[in-house]
Structure 1
């Protein structure tokens, strides 16, 4: 599943071997989740973010949170913010690095 309007992401669908483990980490009921979209910052152009425009030329801005979009079987969507470089974020990066 691809999202052409996104710069860098990973999709975790129900048929991925790590789907249940990712849902468990995020404290989600796996049987209610259709798929998840994970923001991957490795290749992101930070100038696309609004906060980037507010900086001085000498400042470096990077996001503080990663967004994971959860798409449920009933058609609803939820966004989960995870602090970058937190224990949960590091665990997810390790798991999703294999996709």
Structure 2
């Protein structure tokens, strides 16, 4: 291929949004998604930290507790996000 035929493809690629700007745009649309992701990471990090000091608790029980806590945080964030989007769409919507 010649360089002249490749330049429109590269020009089109450069005009698209970057991954960071897409993430910021999606975070503004639904702000509880990053909260859920951050909470999930925090619960897993805390669980891994507590893994050393679990005492007499079996490994499987500790992992089940970690999984339930992480899933609970994500489901809670999703629920808050749905309630927030319903609020924005139905109650906070300006009347025409």
The alignment's TM-score, normalised by the length of structure 2, stands at 0.27
Q: Which entry has the higher C-alpha Rg, 1 or 2?
A: 2
The alignment's TM-score, normalised by the length of structure 1, stands at 0.26
Which structure's relative contact order is higher, taking Cα pairs within 8 Å and 6+ residues apart? 2
- Higher normalized strand content (fraction of residues): 1
